[in-house]
């Protein structure tokens, strides 16, 4: 271990650095990656919830042979040869079939029954002629100007959904159209997976809640609100616990009460073992198995700490916002999806060309966040964001990322890279601006955006460049 390393240097803290895949394997080995339970919810509350069981229809839809038009229920054979210049006269049956009315008479040959859209087809009828192709003849008869095929303008019983048919499958995130389906088959409530409860705690003496006054040296807590939203996006219930300073006892108490209230505990910041980094020490208390990974050979995100106690994940994400976001999506989100009953995410990739040479860190899987633009030849160009893992904008403005394996030191300019898209697939930019930030340009870009143009800006200033060594 680290015994004979000089004390206090940063490398000492992560001697047990493992590969990305090993970290994932160790973490999942100690977790039961499955939904946490089910509950019944009414149609009014189920939007956005994850369906826990397949739903089979208990009824036919439509539940009866139904007219799709306003017109007359007829026997198609009575209208063979009907033409505008040779209409067929049919006698009205005396019934009027508006929706909800149950026919009492069988339709006799040579007869027609007025019927409205949604009306129930009477026995004996096998088609409906549209009112537009008919002419009334007094109160007792109608002339039909067109022949019609048997079954025309009728939706037969069960043709939409047959009783017994599975209409929705487990794992679906219920949206309005699914709710329409459930309502149409008469279900008033459905079984959904219980939302995993995820406690979120930002750690650090320097952190201030957004909206509160800030002094020099302090930073707004962006990881906390980001994680609360990210967790909600994954169908979980966030329990935001705010900010705790670098105080061992307070942090330990907070973690203990978070464990009592939640299924997952997420901390950010303080993952190192250095002075002032208290979160790691507060998590190090657990031994069932407690910390399973501390230090992953990836960039950004090296100081990630993965622990499990009482069967619950306790994760300390790196404090740097991009590192926190990245490691959350790489290591925590898949577990949360499993707990929430969501299928694994299949992220889309796009092939793009790297316009600049990119230095990579030998020995670590390096992820480079990029912004995509279309090149003159119709392909895609991947511009590295170039701000490093300490930047909030690095992740929030990126279209995707590509990974460079641990054994690679540099990626040459012009290389093809496979970009994994993040978030909602953003369109490649119509116009890409790279350079120093400018307020005037901002106004211009807002104006272009209102007109529907997709303009992306990489405000890299004059100092940043894609090969600058990003921090942890």
Residues that bind Mg ion (CB under 5 A): 204, 269-270
Of 271 and 371, the one with the shorter C-beta distance to ligand AMP is 271
- In this chain, which residue has its C-beta nearest to ligand AMP? 319
Per-residue mark of binding to ligand AMP, 43-82 (x: CB under 6 A): ----------------------------------------
Q: For residues 269 and 301, which CB has a smaller minimum distance to Mg ion in the complex?
A: 269
Nearer to ligand AMP, 268 or 404 (CB): 268
* Binds ligand AMP (CB under 6 A): choice among 23, 120, 207, 293: 207
What residues from 173 to 202 belong to the interface with ligand AMP (CB under 6 A)? Answer: 202
Q: Print the SS3 string covering the chain.
A: CCCCCCCCCHHHHHCCCECHHHHHHHHHHCCCCCCCCEEEEECCCCCCCEECCCEECCCCECCCCEECCCEEEECHHHHCCCECCECEEEEECCCCECCCCCCCCCCCCCEEEEECCCCECCCCCCEEEEHHHEEEECCCEEEECCCCCCCCCEECCCCCECCCCEEECCCCECCHHHHHHHHHCCCCEEEEECCCEEEEEEECCCEECCCCCCCCCCEECCHHHHHHHHHHHCCCEEEEEEEECCCHHHHHHHHHHHHHHCCEEEEECCCCCCCCCCHHHHHCCCCCCEEEEECECEECCCCCEEEEECCEEEEEECCCHHHHHHHHHHHHHHHHHHHHCCCCCCCCEEEEECCCCEECCCCCEEEEEEEEEECCCCCEEEEECCCCCCCHHHHHCCCEEEEECCCCCEECCCCEEEEEECCCCCCCECEEEEECCCHHHHHHHHHHHHCCCCEEEEECCCCCCCCCCCCC
What is the closest distance, in whole angstroms, from the C-beta atom of residue 216 to ligand AMP in the complex? 13
In the complex, what is the shortest distance from the CB of residue 277 to Mg ion, in angstroms, rounded to a whole number? 6
Residue 320 as a binder of ligand AMP (CB under 6 A): the answer is yes
321 or 355: CB nearest ligand AMP: 321
Q: Using CB distances below 5 to 8 A depending on partner kind, what does residue 320 bind out of ligand AMP, Mg ion, none?
A: ligand AMP
Contact partner, 207, from Mg ion, ligand AMP, none, Cβ < 5-8 Å per class: ligand AMP
Q: Which of 71, 103, 122, 224 binds ligand AMP (CB under 6 A)?
A: 224
CA pair distance 146, 152, nearest whole angstrom: 12
Among 321, 384, 388, 400, binds ligand AMP (CB under 6 A): 321
| Of the candidate residues 28, 134, 268, 371, the single one contacting ligand AMP (CB under 6 A) | 268
Cα–Cα distance measured from residue 417 to residue 466, given in angstroms and rounded to the nearest whole number: 15
Rank residues 211 and 407 by Cβ distance to ligand AMP and give the closer one.
Answer: 211
Instruction: Verify binding: residue 389, ligand AMP, rule CB under 6 A.
Output: no
Is residue 206 near ligand AMP by the rule CB under 6 A?
yes
> Does residue 355 interact with ligand AMP by CB under 6 A?
no
Q: How far apart are CB 302 and ligand AMP at their closest, in Å?
A: 11
**d(C-alpha 304, C-alpha 294), whole Å:** 6
Number of residues this chain uses to bind ligand AMP (CB under 6 A): 18
Residue 268, contacted partner among Mg ion, ligand AMP, none, CB below 5-8 A by kind: ligand AMP
Looking at the Cβ atoms of 182 and 255, the one nearer to Mg ion is 255
User: Residue 319 CB, nearest distance to Mg ion (Å)?
Assistant: 5
Choose the stretch contacting ligand AMP; rule: CB under 6 A; options: 48-56, 131-139, 269-277, 419-427: 269-277
What does the binding site for ligand AMP look like in residue numbers (CB under 6 A)? 202, 204, 206-207, 219, 221-224, 268-272, 318-321
């Amino acid at each position: 271990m680290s015994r004979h390393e000089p004390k206090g240097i940063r490398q000492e803290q992560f001697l047990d650095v493992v590969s990305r895949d090993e970290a994932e394997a160790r973490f999942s080995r100690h977790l039961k990656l499955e939904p946490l339970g089910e509950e019944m919810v009414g149609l009014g509350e189920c939007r956005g919830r994850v369906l826990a069981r397949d739903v089979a229809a208990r009824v036919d839809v439509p539940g009866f042979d139904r007219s799709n038009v306003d017109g007359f229920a007829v026997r198609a054979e009575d209208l063979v040869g009907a033409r505008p210049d040779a209409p067929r006269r049919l006698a009205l049956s005396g019934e009027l079939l508006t929706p909800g009315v149950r026919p009492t008479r069988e339709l006799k040959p040579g007869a027609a029954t007025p019927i409205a859209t949604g009306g129930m087809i009477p026995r004996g009828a096998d088609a409906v002629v549209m009112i537009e192709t008919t002419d009334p003849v007094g109160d007792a008869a109608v002339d039909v100007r067109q022949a019609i095929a048997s079954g025309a303008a009728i939706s037969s019983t069960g043709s939409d959904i047959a009783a017994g048919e599975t209409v929705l499958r487990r794992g679906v995130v219920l949206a309005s159209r699914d709710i329409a389906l459930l309502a149409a088959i008469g279900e008033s409530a459905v079984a959904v997976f219980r939302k995993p409860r995820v406690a979120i705690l930002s750690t650090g003496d320097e952190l201030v809640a957004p909206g509160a006054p800030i002094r020099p040296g302090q930073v707004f807590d962006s990881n906390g609100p980001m994680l609360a939203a990210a967790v909600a996006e994954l169908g979980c219930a966030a329990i935001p616990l705010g900010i705790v300073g670098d105080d061992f006892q307070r942090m330990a108490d907070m973690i203990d009460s978070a464990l009592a209230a939640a299924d997952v505990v997420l901390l950010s910041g303080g993952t190192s073992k250095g002075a002032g980094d208290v979160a790691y020490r507060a998590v190090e208390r657990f031994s069932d198995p407690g910390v399973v990974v501390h230090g992953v050979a990836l960039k950004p995100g090296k100081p990630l700490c993965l622990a499990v106690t009482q069967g619950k994940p306790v994760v300390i994400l790196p404090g740097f916002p991009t590192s926190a976001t990245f490691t959350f999506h790489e290591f925590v989100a898949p577990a949360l999806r499993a707990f929430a009953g969501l299928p694994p995410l299949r992220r889309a990739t796009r092939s793009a060309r790297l316009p600049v040479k990119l230095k990579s860190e030998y020995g670590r899987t390096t992820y480079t966040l990029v912004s995509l633009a279309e090149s003159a030849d119709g392909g895609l160009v991947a511009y590295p964001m170039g701000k490093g893992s300490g930047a909030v904008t690095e992740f929030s403005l990126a279209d995707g990322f590509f990974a460079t394996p641990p054994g690679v030191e540099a990626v040459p300019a012009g290389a093809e890279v496979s970009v994994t898209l993040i978030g909602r697939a953003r369109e490649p930019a119509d116009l890409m601006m790279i350079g120093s930030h400018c307020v005037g340009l901002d106004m211009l870009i807002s104006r272009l955006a209102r007109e529907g143009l997709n303009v992306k800006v990489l405000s890299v200033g004059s100092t940043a460049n894609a090969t600058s060594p990003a921090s942890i």
